[in-house]
Amino acid sequence: MTIKCDSCKVWIPIIGIIALSLVIAYQFVEPPPPQEASIASGREGGGYHSFAVKYQKLLAEEHFQLNIQPTAGSIEVLKLLKDGKVSMGLVQGGTGTSVSKEGLQSLASLFYEPLWVFYRKGQQPIDYIYELRNKRIAIGEEGSGTRPLALQLLQDNKVNKDNTTFFALSSKVAAEKLDAGEIDAAFFVTSPTASIITELLNNSNIELMSFKRDLAYKRRYSYLTSIKIGEGMIDLEKNIPNEDKTLLAATASLVARDDLHPDIIQLVINKLSEVHKTGGLLEKESQFPSKQFVEFPMNEKADHYLLNGPSWLQRVFPFWIASKLDRLKIMLIPLIAIMIPLLKSAVPLYRWGIRFKIFRWYATLNDIDRKINITTDLSLLEEKKQQIKALQKEITEQVSVPLSYMGELYTLRVHIRLILTQLEEQQSIVETEKS
C-alpha cells in the first residue's frame, strides 16, 4: 500500500462524481446553433437585396452561411416566414397587418424607406392624397410592400376602386408608364438612392408630392415617420429636388421566426450594426439598428443586445467560441454545487482513511492484549505470537504513510513490540508452571 493508492481511494470517487454530474448537466445544454440560415429579400438589384448581400458577406467571415431568397416584396416575405421556408426576412413597415403576428418577432428596425408619390404635372399641383381621385394610379405589384401601404393611405382619403383606377405594377414598369403618360400617378417605397427615384426626379414632366399632413399620418400609424428631403439633397449640382419636400417614411425591419436560434440572432444583429450604424442620407449615425418603429413583438435576445451590446465573451472571442462557452456556462452549476463541497471533504476523508487503518491495527493489538494474561494455552499463545509478528512485518515492510502520520505509525510499532514482549513473557511463565 502506498501514499498514491491511499489518495486514489479518495480522489477517484470524487472525480467520478464530478464527471457524472457534468455528464448529467450536459443534457441540459442548448444544442449548438446551425451554421446557416435563410433570409428573404426584395428583388435582385433592389435595396433590400443589396443589404442582404452585405449581411451575407459579413456573416461569411464568421463561417456562417446566409442564403438569400429574392421575392416580389414584403408581403411575399411574410408568407415565406409564416410557411417556415425562410428564417428571417426584410420587411417594410405597414405590411404587418397582412399576416398573423403569431410566431414572428422583430429583431430590429434598420433604415427609413420614404414613400414617394410621383404624378404627372398638370394645371394644379397635388398636395393631398384625396386629390388623386378619378386618376390612374400604380399602387405596387402583388406581394410588394408598397401595395398595402398605398392602399391604406388611399382608403384613409376615400380613394378607392369605385372612383379611381388602380394598377398593380412593378416599380420599373410604373416609372415607364408614368413617363409615357399611361398613368397619372405612382406610389414607390424605396431608398432615395434608387435609380428609379433619381430618374423620376430628373424628369421635367413629373412632380414629387410633398405631404402636408404628415403629423396626422404619424399619429395614426406607429410604423410611419416623416422626413424632409431638403433642396438639393439628392443631387446638389442639379439642385434635385428644387425645393424642400416632406415625405412619409416607413421603416424597414428584420423579422424572424420565433424558433430562430438565440445565438444566430445575436450574430446577425452584430452584423446589422456594422452595416447600418453609420447611418445614411436620411438616418443619423447610431440611429439604427433600433427597436423603434417595429410592427411585430421584439425578440427578447435582440432587445437585450440592442440595449446592452455584445457580451464580454462576444467581445473577447470569435462567435463560435463565445457561443460554445456561453452554452456551457450551465456546467458551472454542478461544478459549484458539487465540486467545492467534495474538494473540501477530500482532505478530511484522506486523513480519516489513514487514521482508520492505524486504528484498525490497534483494535487487533487490543484484542490480543486482553487475552495474554488470562491464557494458559501454549498453542493459543503461539498463534497470537505469530499473528503479532505477521502484523509487525506488514507494517514494517509494506505500509507507508505521509510524514505527518509517521509519529502515530512509530508509536504503533512500539506498542506491537510491547505486546510481543508480553506474549513471550507469558509463554515463559506458562512453560515454567507446566514443567
Per-residue model confidence as pLDDT tens digits over 189-219 = 988 878 888 899 999 899 999 998 999 998 8
Q: Are strands 245-257 and 224-229 parallel, antiparallel or unpaired?
A: antiparallel
Select from 187, 166, 43, 177 the least CA-distant residue to 114: 187
Percentage of the residues of the chain whose pLDDT score is greater than 90: 39
pLDDT given at position 123: 62
- pLDDT band at residue 187 using 50, 70 and 90 as cut-offs: very high
Q: What is the mean pLDDT of residues 374-394?
A: 78
Tell me how many degrees the CA angle 394-396-400 measures, rounded to the nearest 5.
Answer: 90
Contact 429, 394 (CB under 8 A): no
Mean pLDDT of 75-91: 95
Q: Which of 154, 245, 170, 166 is nearest to 201 (CA)?
A: 245
* Among the ranges given (110-124, 256-270, 323-337, 359-373), the one the predictor scored with the smallest mean pLDDT: 323-337
Pairwise pLDDT comparison (88 vs 141), residue with the higher score: 88
Rounded CA-CA distance 280/287 in Å is 10
Closest to 166 measured CA to CA, from 130, 132, 124: 132
pLDDT of 4 > 50? The answer is no
Q: Stretch 119-129: mean pLDDT, rounded?
A: 87
pLDDT band of residue 311 (cuts 50, 70, 90) is confident
- What's residue 79's pLDDT? 93
Question: How far apart, in whole angstroms, are the C-alpha atoms of residue 58 and residue 53?
Answer: 9
Mean pLDDT check: name the lowest of 140-149, 227-236, 407-416. Answer: 407-416
Half-sphere exposure of 265 (CA within 13 A, CB side): 22
Indicate whether this model's pTM tops 0.85: no
| Contact predicate 104/88, CB 8 Å | no
For residues 240-263, give the mean pLDDT: 92
Distance between CA atoms of residues 18 and 16, nearest Å: 5
DSSP 55: H
The answer to whether the Cα torsion of 217, 218, 220, 224 is positive or negative is positive
Given CATH 3.40.190.10, say whether it is the number of domain 36-310.
yes
The 3-state DSSP class for residue 65 equals strand
User: Greater confidence, 244 or 143?
Assistant: 244
**Nearest alpha carbon to residue 259 among 90, 31, 94, 40:** 31
Between 342 and 243, where is the model more confident? 243
Is it the case that residue 22 has pLDDT exceeding 70?
Answer: no
pLDDT of 418 strictly over 60: yes
**Would you state the pLDDT for residue 118?**
97
Is pLDDT above 70 for 110? yes
What pLDDT, in 10s, does the model give residues 35-62? 899 999 988 877 889 899 999 999 999 8
Say what the pLDDT of residue 18 is.
67
> What is the average pLDDT score of the chain?
84
